[in-house]
Amino acid sequence: MTATTTTPPGVLAALRRTPTPVRYLLGGVLVNQFGAFVQTFMVLYLVFRGFSAGQAGAAIAAYSVGSIVGGLIGGELVHRIGPRATITAAMLGSAAILTVVPFLATPALFAVLLAALLLAGMATQSYRPAAAVLLSDLMPDDVRVLGFSMMRIALNLGAALSPLIAAGLVLLDWDLLLWFDAATALAYACLARWLLPDIRVERQEKTGTRVAYGIVLRDGRFWFFLASVVLGTIIYVQYTVSLPLKISSDGHSTGLYSAVLVTASAVLILCELKITTYVTRWPGHVAATAGTVLMGLGVAGFGISGGSAAALIACTVVFVFGIMINGPTMFAYPSSFPAAVKSRYISAHQTMFGLGMALGPLFGVAAWIGLGNGVWWLCGGLAMVAALCAFLGMRVPRTA
């Protein structure tokens, strides 16, 4: 991504210039996120239904593997049937599978349940490449990064409110978690079918799918970018895996962790769009590198917080500012490639993001057991590697 030669519009101007279909797209993302309970509550749900902790972990692993595969499938479907049809099919599939999961949630049907959750992960996550392609095609070029920032805010706002919804549903019936998740997916499918435009993505001329993905595989610079995405996502996950373990080991109550989560959500929702209006004036590789370094400083700070609640919250703010600086630019970067291969680049990005989300918990638990508080120094070092990869992967060569 190159530096913008004109001053990007402010937040209000960007919001006014957001096309109506993009508003519908973001609204659908928000509605769907309200019911995104599988990864957050599935372990508790399965334990409540009589499964062991090991079986619950295997179920989440199956869903995560499905999510990774879903990113690749979604990218291919965008080229074959278009973004609108991909979102509609993905959400209808997700709704159908999640509806029957409660009927499979018995230890006697564990193998069938694993298969269902694998398919649910594939269906649920395969909409993401299509949503990213639509957003990049519909948003004006000079506010495209702000568009991806809006999508991230929709995801974060839904993630902040969904636990409150879940808490109320659990009081009535645990099965309602899955059925509400299915209902939000169905609502998104209906919204996509009737309100989103039917845009057809340009196909790669005279080449098949294998050759199209070969273009991505031969793009060495993009591999550096993908490495940064995987490492950055693994580091990001420690905010929900290693950090609560640290807070507990320091003798703090879960109330402190709740305060950290609320602080992070509030900062993201209130500040990201404004931060992005400044960041879009920078070259893409500068924003990605600086934000990843700041993330690393934030997580390394957890290691020297000394058990201070104020220090933990301050480090969280630094960490979140790093995410706000690098996140929108890195999510928008794959959409800057030519239309004929754009969905494959977006699909590769989403797949690596899903891989990082799947590996993050395993890494965090193992690192905490082996290193204790040293996990934060390790994460800080990995963040510097991720920053270097972002710089190498996104910097435009002088000959370009």
Q: What is the dihedral of CA 34, 40, 44, 46, to 10 degrees?
A: 90
Three-class SS state of 92: helix
Same domain, 23 and 171: yes
Same domain, 367 and 315: yes
pLDDT, residue 93, reads 93
Same domain, 234 and 159: no
Contact 78, 69 (CB under 8 A): no
Longest dimension (CA), the chain: 63
State the DSSP code for 109.
Answer: G
Rg (CA), the chain: 20
Same domain, 160 and 266: no
What's the domain range around 231?
A: 219-394
* Token pair 């905490």: residue: 368
In a domain, 135, yes or no: yes
Same domain, 233 and 190: no
Same domain, 36 and 176: yes
In a domain, 74, yes or no: yes
What DSSP string runs through 297-351? HHHHHHHTSTT-HHHHHHHHHHHHHHHHHHHHHHHHGGGGS-HHHHHHHHHHHHH
In a domain, 202, yes or no: no
In a domain, 214, yes or no: no
Residue 161 belongs to domain with CATH number? 1.20.1250.20
In a domain, 228, yes or no: yes
In a domain, 5, yes or no: no
pLDDT, residue 97, reads 92
pLDDT, residue 10, reads 63
Regions of the chain with pLDDT less than 50 = 1-5, 205-207, 399-400
Same domain, 43 and 141: yes
Q: Specify the number of domains making up the chain.
A: 2
232: tokens are 């950055």
Same domain, 274 and 383: yes
Same domain, 253 and 385: yes
Same domain, 324 and 383: yes
Same domain, 54 and 153: yes
pLDDT, residue 172, reads 86
In a domain, 213, yes or no: no
pLDDT, residue 3, reads 42
- Say what the pTM is: 0.77
pLDDT, residue 87, reads 92
For residue range 286-330, list pLDDT tens digits in order.
Answer: 999 999 999 999 999 998 877 788 888 999 999 999 999 998 899
In a domain, 205, yes or no: no
Same domain, 154 and 224: no
